[in-house]
């Protein structure tokens, strides 16, 4: 059909395979062409022309008694040079289109960190490694495998058209790509989470609308949210441990602790700077996870104007007898100052 002519184009076929069948078990090959450089011998006609020119030159110089031996040696060297040239050649061969490995099918203990980083960059088109990731398998009534990533930098349009933004997760059913615009997989405030979900429970040959109403999606969403928040919690705990180590090091090493306090931000500080607003929105929107989210909040205080602390840390440092906490709310710290 005329309207389907584009599916005869090599680039279109590669695009479709990369999008929908990149991780299926069976290899997909495409008979395609490419240009390569090849060294070939100079054609006989060119060689004959070179020989005739040499003969003419020799006959003209026969009577010249002052021809030097050096010139003759140079001519002999030129004759001995290989007569080849580089040409462009079109070759046809079977090209493997789906060489990416579905690393989520393997055990987390068998996957190297470099593989996770490479996989994250491939699915997110991000040139930086992720801040954190979690790789897990859910079992029970609904079975699926998933890898979730927290990027280092927030998308520039993260809060533009916030309530119409879809989750940045790719949904697969038995390694066949279904969609990357499913609102039902994660709540809006976690739309920055990137990764994949591969389910063997969901039906494959149904419409998008039917799949959206499938009861298994609610179970998948609930487990994904728990795993995502648990990943953020572990990132926060690592940051707290680093702070404790810095304080202990400061007591033992005196002024040397200044290097750690004035150095690079911890991973959780980077996370809070990029996605802190999303966590605050989650507290407003997600009542069932409000307690978990509250533990992820960070604040500047009068005692800690340059270092973020949790509410729990603030309460631990309260003076004896202090019963009230006063706060200022604003767009940013700079605006309040």
- The whole-number pLDDT of residue 227 equals 96
Q: Token pair of 59, please? A: 């006959």
- The whole-number pLDDT of residue 59 equals 52
Q: Are 285 and 187 in contact (CB under 8 A)?
A: yes
Domain extent listing, the chain:
2-96, 101-289, 299-337
- The whole-number pLDDT of residue 253 equals 42
Q: Is the pTM value of this prediction over 0.75? A: no
Between CA 61 and CA 75, with CA 42 as vertex, the angle to 5 degrees is 25
Q: How far apart are CA 162 and CA 130, in angstroms?
A: 23
- The whole-number pLDDT of residue 76 equals 54
Which of these, 197, 234, 194, lies nearest to 219 by C-alpha position?
197
DSSP 160-204: TTGGGPPPEEEEEETTEEEES--TTSS-GGGTT-EEEEEESSS-S
- The whole-number pLDDT of residue 138 equals 92
- The whole-number pLDDT of residue 140 equals 86
pLDDT in tens, 105-145: 889 999 999 999 999 998 888 889 999 999 999 988 899 99
Please provide the CATH number assigned to the domain covering 101-289: 3.30.230.80
List all residues 6 or more positions away from 191 whose beta carbon is below 8 Å from its beta carbon: 158, 165, 166, 167, 168, 278
The helix or strand, by DSSP H or E, that contains position 220, with its residue range, turns out to be helix 215-253
Q: How far apart are CA 183 and CA 212, in angstroms?
A: 9
Mean pLDDT per 10-residue section of the chain, whose length is 337 residues: 79 80 77 82 56 52 51 54 75 80 87 92 88 93 94 86 79 86 86 92 79 85 95 88 55 40 76 94 95 93 87 90 88 79
């Amino acid at each position: 059909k005329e309207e389907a002519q584009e599916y005869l184009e090599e680039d279109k076929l590669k695009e479709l395979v990369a999008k929908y069948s990149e991780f299926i078990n069976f290899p997909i090959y495409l008979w395609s062409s490419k240009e390569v450089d090849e060294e070939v011998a100079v054609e006989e006609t060119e060689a004959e022309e070179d020989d005739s020119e040499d003969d003419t030159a020799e006959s003209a110089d026969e009577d010249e008694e002052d021809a030097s031996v050096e010139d003759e040696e140079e001519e002999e060297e030129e004759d001995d040079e290989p007569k080849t040239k580089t040409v462009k050649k079109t070759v046809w061969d079977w090209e493997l289109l789906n060489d990416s490995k579905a690393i989520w099918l393997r055990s987390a203990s068998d996957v190297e960190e470099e593989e996770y980083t490479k996989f994250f960059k491939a699915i997110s088109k991000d040139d930086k490694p992720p801040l954190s990731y979690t790789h897990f398998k859910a079992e029970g009534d609904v079975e699926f495998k998933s890898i979730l990533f927290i990027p280092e930098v927030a998308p520039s349009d993260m809060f533009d058209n916030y309530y119409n933004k879809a989750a940045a997760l790719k949904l697969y059913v038995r390694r066949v790509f279904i969609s990357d615009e499913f609102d039902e997989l994660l709540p809006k405030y976690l739309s920055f989470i990137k990764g994949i979900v591969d389910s063997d429970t969901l039906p494959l040959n149904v419409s998008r609308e039917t799949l959206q109403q499938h009861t298994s999606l609610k179970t998948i969403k609930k487990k994904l949210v728990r795993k995502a928040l648990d990943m953020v919690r572990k990132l926060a705990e690592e940051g707290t441990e680093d702070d404790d180590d810095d304080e202990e090091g400061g007591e033992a090493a005196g002024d040397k602790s200044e290097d750690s306090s004035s150095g690079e931000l911890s991973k959780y500080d980077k996370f809070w700077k990029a996605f802190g607003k999303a966590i605050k929105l989650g507290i407003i929107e997600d009542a069932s996870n409000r307690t978990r989210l509250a533990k992820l909040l960070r604040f500047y205080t009068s005692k800690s104007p340059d270092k973020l602390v949790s509410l729990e840390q603030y309460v631990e440092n309260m003076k004896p007898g202090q019963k009230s906490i006063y706060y200022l709310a604003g767009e940013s710290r700079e605006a309040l100052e």
